[in-house]
Structure 1
Amino acid sequence: MFLPEDCVSTILSLTSPQDACRSSLVSSTFNSAAESDVVWERFLPSDYQELLLRLVNDNPLKHPTKKELFFHLCNPVLIDGGRKSFKIERASGKKSYLLSARELSITWSDEPMYWSWKHMTDSRFAEGVELITISWLEIHGKIRTQSLSKNTAYSAYLVMNISNRAYGLDMAPFETSVKVGNRVSYGTACVCRHDEMKQQNVDSDQTMKAKVFPGNEPIPSERNCGWTEIKLGEFFTGEEDEEVNISLMETKGYHLKAGLVIEGIEVRPKD
């Protein structure tokens, strides 16, 4: 006995995008059911209509089926005047955001002697920012959990690069924190890999580095977009709407540093 196609579509809508694609190989009935708008609308974020209104230079009418729209949104799209990037994860349909440097709170970023805002050809955003020189560095980003997928473990990353003129970024670990509501977790991270660390003042710096770097801090890893990322922390979204505050700071050494290039902070479902 075979189930009607609409029943199969309803069943598939309760699975995952990955499972629906796999089931399309079972039979012609499953293949047809797996193409249904009933299935793919369930996989789209519940607020996808509102998100479409926030798109920059994109027309959702170009994607006549919900499946086509789903896979279109699996690639990053600009929203909110180009200050954020949004996408959904292909396998799960979970939401991810990249907050541009302009969307972050960066101490003294409006002072040209400390920071330089510029167009970057390898960035999806109109501009990024490079650290000219500073002794006190604070970077903060925030997002509400209602913008993310509910009941999901997330990781936060600083998306960055190190310029050729960099110095002072390897003197001590940077402090990181992720706060959700009144819950906060702290950590440390290195913004440059040990093989990239500058060799200036080797004799005086080597001893200090051995003391301040225990060796287990997160270090940057390469992304497929040409940037690197450093993990800032993790958090979990429940059912309630709460504000998530994410930060990277180096404020205790009072030594000059330069060459940190920032694209933004990404919040994505934990691997």
Structure 2
Amino acid sequence: MGSNTSACLSSSSDYPSLNLKLGDIPESCISLILTHLDPPEICQFARLNCAFHGASSADFIWELKLPSNYRYIIEKLSDEGFELDGLGKKELYGRLCRFNPFDGGTKEVWLDKKTGGVCLLISSKGLSITGIDDRRYWNYIETDESRFESVAYVQQTWWFEVAGEIEFKFPKGNYSLFFRLHLGKKVSKKRLGGGGRRVCNMEHVHGWDIKPVKLEVKTGDGQETVSMRFLDDPGNWVRYHAGDFIVGRSDQMTKIKFWLRQIDCTHTKGGLCVDSVLICPTTYY
């Protein structure tokens, strides 16, 4: 056996070294390898050399990374004036990873850069808020701490109820819904000669520690989650988890209804900012 091994070793020296480099790998092979990576990793490998850069742009790679409902999203955004039809799949993926407004700017849709998961954000102006038109209790305030540049602020109310409803064609998977809230009113010191620094006015914050709010999520196919939660952490934006739901079919519209309530009229409550509702894959947040 020893002699055979020696023969093999000696014979292998008769062949010249191939000295293969990364640039010698065919683009088609590189593309197949890249399909097993997530989008940020693909973009990193694209910087290695020209071969990897060219391979990383192959449409079939990014077709696999796009969500199953991407054509539905394109159609929805096209109604808002976005021109996406002529883009390659890589450029399309990058475009959809931006925050894309629709429904008159009251909603935004985007893809998680790493997973391609679909996320939705609904502004306070896209929600149904009891008493929102009564300026004695509610008003909209401008702020750069919201993606929609304004939030709904309740100074005082007996009946607190925020509701919403949406129909959307989500990809198959598990999803979570959150309300983004803030105890206290943000005030710009710029108007008061303070150099633009923002402070939190806690003057109207009251009533939220007496009884919890009720968060509820229902879907059109009968799923329902209900939870009770005290609002806390004044002075900071908090995402309150309202519930989860499962999308079983990507080719059908999913109807979702959701509520945030504190309708015990034995006491008033106030000093709360309502920014938005986030719907996203459960693994996103």
Question: TM-score, normalised on structure 2?
Answer: 0.71
1:33 matched residue in structure 2: 55
Hey, what's the Cα distance between the residues in 2 that align with 1:26 and 1:143?
A: 44
Q: Secondary structure at the match of 2:158?
A: coil
- Aligned-residue RMSD, C-alpha: 3.1
Query: Following TM superposition, by how much is the alpha carbon of 1:14 offset from its aligned partner in structure 2, in angstroms?
Result: 7.2
Residue 77 of structure 2 contacts residue 100 of structure 2 at CA under 8 Å; is this kept in 1? no
Residue 145 of structure 1 contacts residue 237 of structure 1 at CA under 8 Å; is this kept in 2? no
Q: Judging changes above 3 Å, is the alpha-carbon distance between structure 1 residues 55 and 89 closer, same or farther for their aligned structure 2 residues?
A: farther
Please give the per-residue CA displacement for 1:74-106, whole angstroms capped at 9, x wherever unaligned: 232322221111111011111101101111111
Q: Which deviates more from structure 2 when the two are superposed, residues 76-85 or residues 120-129?
A: 120-129
Query: Following TM superposition, by how much is the alpha carbon of 1:237 offset from its aligned partner in structure 2, in angstroms?
Result: 1.1
Question: TM-score, normalised on structure 1?
Answer: 0.74
Q: Judging changes above 3 Å, is the alpha-carbon distance between structure 1 residues 7 and 123 closer, same or farther for their aligned structure 2 residues?
A: same
Aligned AA (2:209): D
2:212 matched residue in structure 1: 173
Hey, what's the Cα distance between the residues in 1 that align with 2:126 and 2:87?
A: 32
Hey, what's the Cα distance between the residues in 2 that align with 1:13 and 1:255?
A: 58
Q: Residue 147 of structure 2: which of 112, 124, 129 is its match? A: 124
1:189 matched residue in structure 2: 229
Residue 223 of structure 2 contacts residue 245 of structure 2 at CA under 8 Å; is this kept in 1? no
Residue 74 of structure 2 contacts residue 84 of structure 2 at CA under 8 Å; is this kept in 1? no
Q: Secondary structure at the match of 1:50?
A: helix
Hey, what's the Cα distance between the residues in 1 that align with 2:96 and 2:54?
A: 22
Hey, what's the Cα distance between the residues in 2 that align with 1:87 and 1:142?
A: 19
Higher relative contact order (CA 8 A, sep 6+): 1
2:244 matched residue in structure 1: 234
Hey, what's the Cα distance between the residues in 2 that align with 1:244 and 1:3?
A: 49
Query: Following TM superposition, by how much is the alpha carbon of 1:260 offset from its aligned partner in structure 2, in angstroms?
Result: 1.0
Query: Following TM superposition, by how much is the alpha carbon of 1:3 offset from its aligned partner in structure 2, in angstroms?
Result: 8.8
Runs of 5+ in structure 1 lacking a partner?
Answer: 198-221
2:282 matched residue in structure 1: 270
Task: Work out the percentage of aligned pairs sharing the same amino acid.
Answer: 27
Matches within 5 A, 1:41-190: 41-45=63-67, 46-47=70-71, 48-55=73-80, 60=84, 65-146=88-169, 148-150=170-172, 152-162=173-183, 163=185, 164=201, 165-180=204-219, 181-190=221-230
Q: If you compute each CA radius of gyration, which structure gives the higher value, 1 or 2?
A: 2
Q: Judging changes above 3 Å, is the alpha-carbon distance between structure 1 residues 76 and 15 closer, same or farther for their aligned structure 2 residues?
A: same
Aligned AA (2:103): D
Query: Following TM superposition, by how much is the alpha carbon of 1:175 offset from its aligned partner in structure 2, in angstroms?
Result: 0.9
Runs of 5+ in structure 2 lacking a partner?
Answer: 1-23, 186-200
Equivalent pairs counted in the alignment come to: 237
Q: Which deviates more from structure 2 when the two are superposed, residues 247-256 or residues 23-32?
A: 23-32
Please give the per-residue CA displacement for 1:132-173, whole angstroms capped at 9, x wherever unaligned: 211111111222241x222x1111111121222311122211
Please give the per-residue CA displacement for 1:98-142, whole angstroms capped at 9, x wherever unaligned: 101111111121221221123223222153210121111111122
Q: Secondary structure at the match of 1:39?
A: helix
Q: Which deviates more from structure 2 when the two are superposed, residues 82-91 or residues 244-253?
A: 244-253
Hey, what's the Cα distance between the residues in 1 that align with 2:75 and 2:32?
A: 24
2:19 matched residue in structure 1: none
Hey, what's the Cα distance between the residues in 2 that align with 1:54 and 1:86?
A: 14
Query: Following TM superposition, by how much is the alpha carbon of 1:21 offset from its aligned partner in structure 2, in angstroms?
Result: 4.2
Query: Following TM superposition, by how much is the alpha carbon of 1:30 offset from its aligned partner in structure 2, in angstroms?
Result: 4.8
Query: Following TM superposition, by how much is the alpha carbon of 1:52 offset from its aligned partner in structure 2, in angstroms?
Result: 3.3
